[in-house]
Structure 1
Amino acid sequence: MAQRTLPADERILTWLEERPGLAATVREIAEAFGLPARSRPKLRRRLHELVAEGRLVALRGRRFGSARVLGDVVGRYTRHPHGFGFVVPDDPSEIDLYIPIGGAGGALHGDLVAARITDVKPDGRREGTIVRVLERKSKVLVGAFQPTYSGGGVVQPIDAGYGFDILVPKGRTAGARAGEFVSVSLETPPSGAGPARGRVVERLGRPDEPGADVEVLIRKFDLDPRFPEEVLRAAEALPDDPGRWSLEDREDFTGQTVVTIDGASAKDFDDAISVERTRDGGYRLHVHIADVAHFVEEGGPIDAEALRRGTSVYFPDRVIPMLPERLSNHLCSLVPNELRLTQGVTIDFDGEGRARRWRSHDGVIRSQARLTYEEVAAAIEERRPEARRALGKLLPMLEAASELAAKLEAQRARRGAIDFDLPEPELRLALTGGTEDIVARRRTAAHRMIEEFMIAANRAVASDLAARRAPCLFRVHERPDPDRVEKLMRALGGLGYRLDVDPVDATPAHFRVLLEQASGRPEEPFVVRMVLRTMSLARYDPVCLGHFGLALRRYLHFTSPIRRYPDLVAHRALRRLRHRVRERADVAADRRERLPDLARECSRLERDAEAAERESIAWKVAAFMAERLGEEFEGRIVEVAPHGLTVLIPQPFVEGLLPVRRLGDEYFRYDARRLRMIGSKTGRVFRIGQVVRVRVDRVDLLRHLVDFSLVGAETGPGGGRRRSGRGTAARRGRGRAGRRGR
C-alpha cells in the first residue's frame, strides 16, 4: 500500500547518501518510499526547500543529492592544456571533480577553489563548476620571454596548464632577452576584456645556462633555497658537542659494528644499521636513526620552518633541505667516527625472518664507516675479492645483514607485498653542471637490504604507536579503486594477462603475481607502468588504515627525520610514549586536532617535491638529447596509444614519443584491445615490446619533451595520418599532454 505522508527529511538524506550514484530524481525517491504519483508535486516542493536550506544539492537531469556528501568541494584546480580540468580535493579520501571547458569561473591553474557538483555519473564520477576562488596559487609565474616589435614582450608560462601567454608592455621587461626564462608578476588575468598582462620581475637565465632550470623550478613550485635569519641563528646556537647531559638515559651502542649505507653522492646520513646472528639461529637488527627531535624543539623557529617545507627536495645537482645545513649535514648526520645521538629500534628475528620482539630506545652511536650501495653490492652480491678485502672487519656483519635481508624479502613475498622494480634514469653530471650520460639506475642487493631494514623499523614503530593510540601520522596506501582495476584488466587482457579476481576483491598478492608473470618479458615495463597507475596514491593520515602495497596493517615513516617532517612527528610521539610523558588534556587534544591538517599539508608538500624532482630530471634529459638531434638509436616500444608510440632507448636511458605521423606514409589504425598500431596499406604492425630504430627528431626544452622519427619510414608532407577528416591535430595535442602526465 502506498505511503500517503512524506518521509522525514533525515530518512531522505540517508537514503540518498547510501544510494549508488548518490543522487535520484523525484520519481525515484517517490518510488523508493512508496509514495503515490499525486504526492510527487509535494515531494518536489519539499526537496527544493531542502536545497534552499543547504541540505540538498540540485543536479543535472532534475536529480537531487545530499549536501553532506555532494556539497562544495574544496581543493586545488588543475587545468589541462585543452581547457578542461579537475579539482583535487583537500580530503584525500574524495575522488577528483571534473571541471568541463567553461566551468572554471575565472580560476587559474593551481588556485585553491570551491566547486559545486552539478552531475554524478552512474559509475560515481563527478562533474562540477568552480564557484569561488579561495586563494590564488601565486601572482608570479615563470616562463620563456620573447620580445615584440613594440618594445614589450610575451611570456609563455613553463606550466602548460595555464593555457595563456602574458603580454608585457614596453618598459616593464626588466631588459629580458629573447628565450630567457623570467619571473613575471601577473597584474591582469585573462578575461573577455583582453589577454593577461604583467611585468617581468626577475631574469633567471637562458635555457643553456647551468642552473637556470633549477632556478625556474624553485619559483614554479614555490621552494625556498634560503632559510630565515632567525632559523639560521637558532641552528648556530646549538652546541657542537652533545655534552654529558645529552648522553644520560641513553643506551651506549658505540661498541657495535655500525655503518651507514647510502648513495655515493649522499650528504645527509640519517640511518645506520648493525646486524648480529643470535645463538638460537636468528638475527638481531639494530636500526639507528638520527635524533632530530633532540635538536629541533617543537614549536621553535627551526621546527616551524621544517613544517613549512615538509620535506627536502633533491634535484640532480643540488638539494633544498628541510633543515638548515648545520643540522642536516653536521649535528644530526651520522657521519663516521663521531658521537651521534639516535632514536632507534632493535628487532629480534627468528631464523626465517619473522619478527619475534622489538623495542625502541634513545641511543648514542659512533658509525665505523660511510659505505655506498656500490661498495656493499660489489662485496656481498658480486663477491669481488678486492671489494671484500676493502671492507675488512666489517665484512662478517654485512654478511649477516645480507642473510637477514634475504629472509625479510622472502617474508615480504609470502604476505603478497607488491615489488615495483621499474628502472629510473640516473644522470651522470659533469663538473661544469652539464649531463655527461644517462643510465638506468641499478637496484642492487644493498639497496634492497637497506629498504627491508627500514621497512622493518617503520613497521615496528607503527605497531607500537597504533597499539597505544598515540597521535602521529601513519603512512597510508589504500586499496585501488575497483574501476581502475577493471580498466587494468581490460588493458592487459590483449597481452594475455589475467587477474582472475573480482576487482573489488583484488589483493596485493594478485598484483604481485601479475608482475612476476611479466618479469623478463618484452612487455614488462608496460605492465609495471599500468599496475603503478592503477594504485592509489600513498599519503599521510592520523588514522592507521594500512599499506596496501606493502601488505601491512600498520605502517608509518620513522627512518628519515632529516628530510621528512612526518618522521619527526613519529620520533616525538615515540619518545612521549617511551618516557610515559603525561601532557595536559588541552595540549593533547590540541595536538590531535591539528593532525588531519598536518597530514594533508605533508601529503601536498610531498607531491609537490616529487613533481619538482621529476621535472628537473625531465628537463636535463631534454637538454641532453637536444645535443643529439639527428642521431639514431635502437629502442623498445613500451607503450602504444592513439597518438603514437612511447619508445625507451637503453643507452642513453631516455624515453621519447614516436608520433603516429612519423611511422610511415600510410594511415595507421590503433588496435586498443591488443595495444598495437596497424598500417592500412602494408599491414605493418607496431606492438608493445617491439625493437625499433629511431632518430632524435625534435626536442622541446620548454615542455621537456623528446620526439623520435622512425628510421627508414618514408612520410609525406602530412605524415602518417594523412586523412584530413580524422582530427590529426587534436590527436597530436592529446599525445603531448598524455606524455607529460606519465
Structure 2
Amino acid sequence: GAIDFDVNEAKVLVDDKGKPIDIVPRTRGASDKIIEEFMLRANETVAQHFKWMDLPFIYRVHEHPKLKKLQQFVSIVKPLGYTIKGSLEHVYPNELSAIVDASKGTEEHTIISTLLLRCMQKARYDRQCLGHFGLADEYYTHFTSPIRRYPDLLVHRCIRNFLFEQNYEATAHFEEVIPLLAEQSSFREREAIDIEREVTDMKMAEYMSYHIGEEFEGMISSVTQFGFFVELPNTIDGLVHMTELTDDYYHYDEKNLMLVGEMTGKTYKLSDKVKVRVISCSKKDRTIDFELVGQKARVKKKKTIQINDKKVKTNPRKKGKINKSKRFPRKRR
C-alpha cells in the first residue's frame, strides 16, 4: 500500500573546478531498491518494538493529507481518466498508490507523481507514534543512518540505554528531551533540504547559462498566474513568463491549473509538450528563463513611476525570487 512517487531527482556532474558539465536524472538500480527495502524494514521493526515497550522514543511521522489538496488533485487527474473510489476524507494510501501505478508508462506519470507529492504533508519527527501515511506504516522511525542524521543517533542511544544496558533510570531524561529534540530535528531537516535545493538550482542555472539561445523540448510541469514552468528530460526546469506569450492575453485558471487564451481559447496545461529556447539564466538568483519557440518577441517598454519627486524607470521583465521548493518537492521518507 505504500506510495512510490517515483519523482525524478537531478544529479549534477561537475569537473575538478566545480563547473557543471552535465545534469542527468538520478537512477535507482535493483540493488538500490533492495537495500532501501531492508532499511525500511529495519526502521519499522525498531519503531514497533519501542512502541509496545512504551518507552520514550522518537518516531518519523507522516500524517494524512489535507482534504482541500486532495480535492484539487482529483479534479486535475479525473479528466485524464484517474479516479478515487470512496470518500476523500478517509482515503487510504493504497488508493493513491493505485493511481500512480496506473499512470506508469504514460506521458502524465511524472506530473501525477509530482501533484500527488504536493498533496502530502511534510514528514517530521515526533514523540508520539502517529504512523507514516506515505509508507502505509503504523510504526516508523529513522534508525539506519546514525552517522548522517541526529534522530537516528538518538534512536541508537535509546536502544543502548534501554535494551542493552537496561538503564531505565534514564527514562525521565529521555521523556523530557525527546519532544524538544524532535522539533529541532524537524526544523534542521527543512533547512538542510532548502539549502540542498538552492545549490542544485544554482548549478542548474550555471549549466544552462552555457546554452543561451539553444532550443529544447520539454513538458509543462507547473502553471502559475505569472506563467508556466517547463521541465526538460534532464530534470532542469525554467519559467516561460506570461509576458513571453504574445499571441493572446492569457487568464490563469487556478482550479484546473491552466492558462486560457482570452480570444483564441488556446490553453497551456500540465503535461503539455512544448519547445522552448533559453533566453536568460541567473546563477545568483538561481533562475532560468525560457521563451516558446515560434512566439513573436514583444517590445517591452520601461514604465516611469514617481518616487520622492523623481521619475524612475522600471523594467517589467524584472521578476522577484521564486520559491521553487513549493512547486517541486523532493521525495523524503
On whether the aligned pair clears a TM of 0.5, the verdict is: yes
Instruction: Indicate if the aligned counterparts of 2:197 and 2:325 stay in contact, CA closer than 8 A.
Output: no
Query: Which among 700, 704, 708 is matched to residue 286 of structure 2?
Result: 704
The residue that corresponds to 1:433 in the other structure is 18
Q: Is the 8 A contact 2:161 2:168 kept in 1?
A: no
1:151-190 equivalences under 5 Å are none
* Other-structure match for 1:536: 121
3-state SS of 1:646 partner: strand
Q: Secondary structure at the match of 2:50?
A: helix
Distance 1:504 1:536 in 2: 15
1:460 corresponds to which of 30, 45, 51: 45
User: Cα offset for 1:445?
Assistant: 1.4
Q: Distance in 2 between matches of 1:496 and 1:643?
A: 28
The answer on whether the counterparts of 1:643 and 1:731 sit within 8 Å (CA) in structure 2 is: no
Structure 2 match to 1:558: 143
Superposition pairs of residues 406-417 of structure 1, within 5 angstroms: 416-417=1-2
Cα distance per residue 1:504-528 (max 9 Å; x no partner)? 1011112101212322222222211
Q: Structure 1: which 5+ residue stretches go unaligned?
A: 1-415, 720-728
**531 and 570 in structure 1: CA distance in 2 versus 1, 3 angstrom threshold:** same
Residue 670 of structure 1: aligned partner: 252
Residue aligning to 2:309: none
Shift of 1:683: 4.3
**Conservation of the 8 A alpha-carbon contact between 1:523 and 1:638:** no
Give the equivalent residue in structure 2 for 1:116: none
**Mapped pair 1:631 → 2:233:** no
Cα displacement (A) at 1:545 = 1.1
SS at 1:619 equivalent: helix
1:449 counterpart residue number: 34
- Contact 2:146–2:152, Cα closer than 8 Å, also in 1: yes
Which of the numbers 187, 206, 215 marks the counterpart of 1:604?
Answer: 187
1:581 corresponds in structure 2 to: 166
Aligned counterparts, 1:37-186, within 5 A: none
Per-residue deviation, 1:423: 0.7
Q: What does residue 273 of structure 1 align with?
A: none
Summarize deviations over 1:131-169 as a string: whole Å, max 9, x none. Answer: xxxxxxxxxxxxxxxxxxxxxxxxxxxxxxxxxxxxxxx
Residue identity in the other structure for 1:510 = E
Aligned CA distance change for structure 1 residues 738 and 612 (closer, same or farther; 3 Å): closer
Choose from 476, 483, 486 the match for 2:68. 483
Q: Among residues 695, 698, 706, which one is paired with 2:277 in the alignment? A: 695
Cα offset for 1:701?
A: 2.3
> What's the counterpart of residue 127 of structure 1?
none
Matched ranges for 1:219-238 at <5 A: none
Secondary structure at 2:322's aligned position in 1?
A: helix
C-alpha spacing 1:708/1:516, structure 2 compared with 1 (3 Å): same
SS in 1 for 2:211: coil
Helix, strand or coil: the match of 2:133?
A: coil
Deviations 1:435-465 (A, max 9, x none): 1100011122121111101001111111211
Structure with the greater alpha carbon radius of gyration: 1
Q: What per-residue deviation string (whole Å, max 9, x for no partner) do you get for residues 253-309 of structure 1?
A: xxxxxxxxxxxxxxxxxxxxxxxxxxxxxxxxxxxxxxxxxxxxxxxxxxxxxxxxx
Deviation at 1:535, TM superposition (A): 0.7
Query: Once superposed, what is the RMSD of the aligned Cα atoms?
Result: 2.4
Match of 1:497 among 48, 73, 82: 82
SS class of match (1:520): coil
Structure of higher RCO (CA pairs closer than 8 Å, 6+ residues apart)? 2
Query: 1:236: which partner in 2?
Result: none
Match of 1:507 among 88, 92, 102: 92
CA contact (8 A) 2:55 2:171 kept: no
2:100 match: secondary structure: helix
SS in 1 for 2:146: coil
How many angstroms does 1:656 deviate by?
0.7
From 630, 639, 657, the equivalent of 2:239 is 657
Q: Give the whole-Å Cα distance in 2 for the aligned partners of 1:532 and 1:523.
A: 14
Aligned counterpart, 1:567: 152
Q: Structure 2: how far apart are the matches of 1:697 and 1:521?
A: 30
Distance 1:739 1:614, change over 3 A: closer
Does the CA contact (< 8 Å) of 1:422 and 1:525 recur in 2?
yes
> Residues 632 and 446 (structure 1 numbering): CA distance in 2 closer, same or farther, change over 3 Å?
same
Tell me the TM-score normalised to structure 2 length: 0.87
The answer to whether the Cα contact below 8 Å between 1:483 and 1:503 also exists between their aligned partners in 2 is no
Please state how far the C-alpha of 1:558 moved relative to its aligned partner: 0.8
Q: How does 1:349-368 map to 2 (within 5 A)?
A: none
**In 1, Cα distance between the equivalents of 2:323 and 2:150?**
32
1:421 maps to a residue whose letter is D
Verify the 8 A CA contact 1:655 1:706 in the aligned structure 2. yes
Letter in 1 for 2:189: E
> In structure 2, what is the Cα distance between the partners aligned to 1:702 and 1:738?
14
Secondary structure (helix, strand or coil) at the match of 1:547 reads: coil
User: Which of the residues 167, 174, 181 maps onto 1:591?
Assistant: 174
1:660 Cα deviation (Å)? 2.2
For 1:641-686, what per-residue CA distance to the aligned partner results, in whole angstroms no more than 9, with x for missing partners? 33212111114x3111111221333212334454433434444433
Q: How many residues align?
A: 314
Whether contact under 8 Å (1:622, 1:701) holds in the other structure is yes
Write the distance in 1 (CA, Å) between the matches of 2:175 and 2:260: 58
Contact 2:3 2:97 survives alignment (8 Å): yes
Distance, in Å, in 2 between the alignment partners of 1:534 and 1:732 is 31
CA contact (8 A) 1:495 1:674 kept: no
Q: Which residue is 1:89 aligned to?
A: none
**Separation (CA, whole Å) in 2 of partners of 1:509 and 1:732:** 45
**Do 1:489 and 1:499's aligned partners in 2 also have CA atoms closer than 8 Å?**
yes
Closer, same or farther: CA 553–431 of 1 in aligned 2, 3 Å: same
Partner of 1:618: 201
Residue 564 of structure 1: how far off its partner (Å): 0.8
Q: How many angstroms does 1:494 deviate by? A: 4.2
**Deviation of the 1:575 alpha carbon:** 2.4
Q: In structure 2, the residue corresponding to 1:552 is in which secondary structure?
A: coil
2:230 equivalent in structure 1: 647
SS in structure 1 of the partner of residue 151 of structure 2: helix
SS of 1:686 mapped into structure 2: strand
Q: Which amino acid aligns with 1:497?
A: Y
Distance 1:646 1:732, change over 3 A: farther
Aligned to 2:307: none
Superposed displacement of residue 691, structure 1: 1.9
- Indicate how the Cα distance of structure 1 residues 681 and 583 shifts in structure 2: closer, same or farther if over 3 A, else same: closer
- Give 3-state SS (helix, strand or coil) of 1:451's partner: helix
State whether residues 216 and 276 of structure 2, in contact with CA within 8 Å, keep that contact through their aligned partners in structure 1: yes
Question: What is aligned with 2:267?
Answer: 685
**CA–CA separation in structure 2 for the residues paired with 1:493 and 1:567:** 40
- Post-superposition offset of 1:562: 0.4
Structure 1: distance between partners of 2:161 and 2:57: 11
Identity of aligned residues (%): 36
Change (3 A) 1:731 1:546: farther
CA deviation map 1:313-371 (0-9, x unaligned): xxxxxxxxxxxxxxxxxxxxxxxxxxxxxxxxxxxxxxxxxxxxxxxxxxxxxxxxxxx
Amino acid at match of 2:188: L
Q: Pick the structure with more strand per residue.
A: 1
Aligned partners of 2:194 and 2:325 also within 8 Å:
no
